[in-house]
Amino acid sequence: MKKTRVIVTGATGRMGQAVINGILDDPQCSLVGAVDIKGEGKDIGAVLGRGNLGIRIEQNLEKVIEDTLPDVMVDFTIAQVAKTNIDTAIKFGVYSVVGTTGFNEKELEEIQGLSEDKGTGVFFAPNFAIGAVLMMQCAKEIIKYLPEAEIIELHHDQKLDSPSGTALRTAEIMALERGLNSNTAQGKEKKGMYEKVKGARGGNHNGIPIHSIRLPGLVAHQEIIFGGLGQTLSIRHDSIDRNSFIPGVLLAIKEAPKREGVVVGLENLMEM
């Protein structure tokens, strides 16, 4: 069986290292390159404590692609860097699996256009934890019957963007299901309600309040609270270790390149 040749950008980051360990342990995948602005020249195996693998960390993504001829690039960096990485991968015909969040609408439109022009696909997932995907799919059903809901998302204090991509994606799915579209203006406060402290009610995305918490000790967590007449219903997902994302990343590496164009959401690769 031909192995999928993979390079990882953001290789020395916490998610990058977890992804590389997952790839190394998967018999259907082969790590062929590691890209990062840190640790240039070091063997990625030594960085991971797995002994030398003969794969040196490089900064120049184009050179790594030309030297290794990968099938897939996995990106866990930051939005500004990831956009350039994705553009480069598309140019060379390399499929991108992207876990980075924080892109603006213009950047996503540019990626979509470039993908269509070059015929090279891109996969985005706001969350690779399969449990988180199941949570979003449950929310999609619950919102039909309990349309009033709020989202609380909690992440480690090094996460740069808020709300999280998972929270935004969840709100969009819920809003669409209850009859709104993703371009709907933010919902208004109910009559008579006001904030004594600005922002106390959180942000508002498609009429659904989102509250973001950033604290040390957290990894990635989300709770959705639904309210109805005389009742509430809560669903919550907790990633207590970054290894929770690896099965989803490996699924995307193997299955996403079979799809054309830009695909968003792990649910599109699962038999839901």
The tens place of each residue's pLDDT in the chain, 272 residues long, gives 789 999 999 999 999 999 999 999 999 999 999 999 999 999 999 999 999 999 999 999 999 999 999 999 999 999 889 999 999 999 999 999 999 988 888 999 999 999 999 999 999 998 999 999 999 999 999 999 999 999 999 999 989 889 998 999 999 999 999 885 544 444 455 666 778 888 888 999 989 999 999 999 999 999 999 999 999 999 999 999 999 999 999 999 999 999 989 999 999 998 76
Identify the bridge partners of residue 224 per DSSP, sorted by sequence position. Answer: 151, 235
d(CA 99, CA 128): 7
d(CA 155, CA 216): 8
Closest residue by Cα to residue 128 from 166, 162, 167: 166
**Known catalytic residues?**
155, 159
In one-letter notation, the amino acid at residue 58 is E
Q: Could you read off the pLDDT of 21-57 as tens digits, one per residue? A: 999 999 999 999 999 999 999 999 999 999 999 999 9
- What are residue 44's phi and psi, to 5 degrees? -65, -30
Domains and CATH numbers, the chain: 4-124+243-269 (3.40.50.720), 130-240 (3.30.360.10)
Number of neighbours of residue 67 by Cβ within 10 angstroms = 13
Question: Kind and range of the H or E element at 129?
Answer: none
Output the pLDDT for position 28: 97
Residue matched to tokens 């009742």 = 231
Output the pLDDT for position 272: 61
Output the pLDDT for position 191: 67
Q: Give strand ranges (E) for the chain.
A: 4-9, 29-35, 57-58, 72-75, 95-98, 122-124, 148-155, 203-205, 208-214, 220-228, 231-239, 262-264
Output the pLDDT for position 190: 65
Output the pLDDT for position 186: 42
d(CA 166, CA 197): 26
Output the pLDDT for position 126: 87
d(CA 108, CA 99): 14
Find the angle CA(200)-CA(203)-CA(209) to the nearest 5 degrees. Answer: 95
**64, 159, 261, 25: CA torsion to nearest 10:** 60
d(CA 39, CA 105): 32
pTM: 0.83
Contact status, residue 108 vs residue 87, Cβ threshold 8 Å: no
Centroid of chain to Cα 38: 22
Output the pLDDT for position 70: 98
Output the pLDDT for position 104: 87
Q: Give strand ranges (E) for 47-176.
A: 57-58, 72-75, 95-98, 122-124, 148-155
d(CA 65, CA 45): 19
